[in-house]
Amino acid sequence: MTEQPDEQSPESVVDLRDYRNSRDPLPVTFNRRELDAILWIYGRMVGDGEWRDYAIDHLRDRAVFSVFKRSGEMPLYRIEKNPKLAAKQGMYSVVNTNGMILKRGHDFQQVLKIFDKGLRLVKS
């Protein structure tokens, strides 16, 4: 007689994706719409000569888009996505060089309006 292994109950079966994510969670990333909005603003500011370089960091707890005037300096602004703050003050924020939060909220487009320029008087 050959012994057959006992059938395992469904409770003991582990999904491999869940196991991997619990051991090494995927980093937080910007989705396509968020990145399109950021890059649209970035392109406009580069065209105005205000920004020159950027960096994107996808960390375990947040995603960060940093903007630089020159590549060797501290970032002028950091656009951050922190999902842990989604139920509190909002997961999106814009932070300046000194670490002061300039704007935070739940709506990404509203947070990015901090980079909108007001109307200027043009003399003819």
Render pLDDT for 19-33 as a digit per residue (tens, 0 to 9).
Answer: 666 666 778 888 899
Q: What is the pTM of this model?
A: 0.73
Query: Cβ(37)–Cβ(94) under 8 Å?
Result: no
Please say if the pLDDT value at position 61 is more than 60: yes
Give the closest residue to 84 by CA, choosing from 76, 93, 75.
Answer: 93
Domain ranges of the chain: 32-114
